[in-house]
């Protein structure tokens, strides 16, 4: 039951678009918070990304939007009008959190910066998400995960195969990572507010999130022994941590960080027991004498002698850490992923059944989160205003002035 969820009774106002902030507040909603998403008449752009992702342009079957916005309520509010601003402040007065990815200068111009809201609502927890942070020369740049997280943060320039081109990117990886960082900070600040009666500001940005998740290698880059990336995979520090092509053209990723410990066990499995005890291929000697590429080629030649299925059976029986490099169609059918509740079957009003992805954090005693379809644009506008005490006469006047809109107003513009 919702009343048993960890964040039951917590009210969250979201002024966010795209992925990171909505993913953050989706986590809060999954755990019982009442999340009210406020949008302009044009709607969050993610509502309309279907065709570029190969999905139907159908507001009633919107898998991407559901991923970020399930379990929320939505209202359309004209924040440029005095009446719309008044309604927002009435919502904030009753809220525990305000979460936004508006840029700092836009928030200040609208009177929604932390200092202003903290003075009005001292218990309010304030979450700010940006591309590059709120200080420094580039704080006002627009930031997306392709740019701030992957490119500026170092992924694209460092981790592709030397002599080729940077990896192909897919949206959401940086946003989802940083969005859950933001949710952790918000819950921490909420706990503090419960103890002290004082809210706080939580800040997360894509650049910092990218640098943090790469922290091991970024720090190692300061030392002269470290290789300068991008590198040829044949020159990787530990060949046992590479992916190798099999006889049938698939790739198996190995992961054996303690190289010397796995070496005598692994080499006989690939038919090279003759190299067990060969001092040339200890980790220390390979590093000192630059034999990494030489040994990589030995592994590569051996791995091409069997299919992925044949190697998988051998490695599973001998407890070797590995995984097949699956494509998305295979991941959608992964039995282990289904068994551990990664996926959810959503039944849409048009009769379609689609596999949707759950967020990756569960509370055991609370049970699996609900997965209610995301709200339509403006679906709950009047419901929320009634909760604030507006009469039917007041609603009519505000509606006629287009201070708020409902889905019935907007569906004709959005293929509804």
Q: Average the pLDDT over 293-322 and give the result.
A: 98
pLDDT at 225 > cutoff 70:
no
- The alpha carbon of 335 is separated from its chain's Cα centroid by a whole number of angstroms, namely 23
pLDDT at 159 > cutoff 90:
yes
pLDDT digits (tens, 9 = 90+) for 357-371: 999 999 999 999 999
Residue 226 confidence (pLDDT): 66
392 CB contacts (<8 Å, ≥6 apart)?
none
* Per annotation, catalytic residue among 30, 34, 44, 175: 175
Check: CB of residue 403 under 8 Å from CB of residue 87.
yes
200 as an active site residue: the answer is: no
Strand residue runs (E) in 143-286: 201-205, 243-245, 251-254
H runs (alpha helix) in 204-318 = 206-213, 215-220, 259-269, 283-289, 292-303, 308-317
pLDDT digits (tens, 9 = 90+) for 327-367: 999 999 999 999 999 999 999 999 999 999 999 999 999 99
pLDDT at 1 > cutoff 50:
no
Residue 52 confidence (pLDDT): 82
Give the percent of the chain with pLDDT over 90: 94
Name the pLDDT band for 204 (thresholds 50, 70, 90).
very high
pTM value is: 0.95
pLDDT digits (tens, 9 = 90+) for 112-157: 999 999 999 999 999 999 999 999 999 999 999 999 999 999 999 9
Residue 208 confidence (pLDDT): 98
Q: Average the pLDDT over 171-195 and give the result.
A: 98
């Amino acid at each position: 039951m919702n009343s048993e969820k960890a964040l039951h009774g917590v009210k969250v106002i979201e002024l966010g678009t795209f992925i990171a902030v909505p993913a953050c507040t989706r986590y809060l909603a999954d755990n019982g918070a009442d999340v009210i998403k406020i949008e302009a008449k044009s709607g969050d752009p993610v509502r309309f990304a279907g065709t570029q992702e190969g999905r139907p342009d159908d507001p009633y079957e919107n898998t991407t939007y559901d991923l970020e916005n399930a379990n929320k309520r939505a209202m359309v509010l004209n924040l440029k009008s005095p009446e719309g601003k008044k309604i927002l402040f009435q919502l904030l007065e009753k809220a525990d959190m305000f979460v936004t990815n508006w840029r700092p200068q836009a928030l200040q111009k609208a009177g929604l910066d932390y200092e202003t809201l903290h003075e009005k609502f001292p218990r309010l927890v304030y979450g700010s998400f940006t591309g590059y942070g709120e200080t420094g020369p580039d704080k006002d740049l627009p930031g997306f995960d392709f740019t701030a997280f992957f490119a500026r943060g170092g992924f694209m320039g460092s981790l592709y195969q030397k002599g080729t081109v940077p990896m192909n990117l897919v949206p959401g990886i940086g946003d989802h990572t940083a969005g859950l960082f933001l949710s952790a900070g918000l819950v921490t600040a909420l706990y503090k507010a419960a103890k002290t009666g004082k809210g706080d500001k939580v800040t997360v940005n894509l650049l910092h999130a990218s640098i943090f998740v790469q922290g091991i290698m970024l720090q190692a880059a300061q030392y002269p022994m470290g290789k300068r990336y991008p590198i040829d995979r044949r020159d990787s520090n530990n060949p046992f941590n590479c992916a190798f092509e099999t006889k049938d053209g698939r790739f198996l990723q190995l992961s054996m960080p303690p190289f010397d410990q796995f070496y005598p066990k692994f080499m006989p499995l690939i038919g090279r027991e003759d190299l067990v005890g060969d001092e040339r291929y200890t980790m220390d000697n390979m590093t000192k004498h630059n034999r990494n590429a030489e040994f990589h080629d030995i592994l590569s030649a051996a791995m091409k002698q069997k299919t992925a299925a044949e190697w998988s059976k051998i490695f599973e029986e001998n407890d070797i850490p590995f995984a097949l490099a699956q494509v998305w169609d295979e991941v959608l059918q992964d039995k282990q992923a289904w068994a551990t509740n990664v996926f959810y079957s959503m039944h849409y009003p048009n009769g379609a059944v689609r596999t949707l992805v759950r967020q990756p954090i569960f509370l055991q005693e609370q049970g699996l989160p609900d997965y209610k379809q995301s709200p339509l644009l403006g679906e709950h506008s009047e419901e929320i205003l009634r909760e604030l005490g507006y009469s039917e006469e007041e609603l009519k006047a505000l509606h006629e002035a287009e201070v708020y809109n409902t889905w019935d107003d907007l569906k004709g513009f959005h293929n509804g």
